[in-house]
Amino acid sequence: MRPQVLARLVLVLAAAQASSSWEAPAEARSRINPLSPTAERIKTGRSLFRRHCALCHGEDGKGKKKHPNPKAPPPPDLSDEGRQERLTDGEIFWKISNGRSDDGRIVMPAFASEVSSEERRWSLVLYVRSLRQTAD
């Protein structure tokens, strides 16, 4: 096997292993969004998404091919129907609030301090849910 192919395979496997280990605690996964999805709340969420998330996840939430940190895995497609079905609202909220680090490298910043209002972070969850692409 060529060294470049082997190196790429190792990176892909490492990224897959790292992404599977980013799990919210059961208590966080079981949290229910206290907000109903109104147009105003989704608009608030969209504004927050554009400000804090679009750099990595793209304006449409589909994720960019490369992470700004070259050692981090590519940001995921948040519009993916399977991903949307697997994640609870509480899990999305937890991930937004706590962020993710791998081996001391920030992969996704924690937004609990930048978006200190829980209500605004729940609005962001509503917007992420609105990105869902369903199969026709």
Percent of the chain scoring above 70 in pLDDT: 82
Spatial distance between the Cα atoms of 65 and 58, rounded to a whole number of angstroms = 10
Q: Is 9 helix (H, G, I), strand (E, B) or coil?
A: helix
- Residue 90, Ramachandran bin (φ over 0: left; ψ between -120 and 50: alpha; else beta): alpha
- Residue 133, Ramachandran bin (φ over 0: left; ψ between -120 and 50: alpha; else beta): beta
Decide if 121 contacts 115 (C-beta within 8 A): yes
All domains of the chain in start order, with CATH: 23-130 (1.10.760.10)
Mean pLDDT of 14-23: 54
Confidence of residue 1 (pLDDT cuts 50, 70, 90): low
The predicted pLDDT at position 135 comes to 55
77-111 pLDDT per residue, tens: 999 999 999 999 999 999 999 999 888 888 899 99
Q: Is the pTM of this model over 0.85?
A: no
pLDDT at 10 over 60: no
Token couple for 101: 């680090």
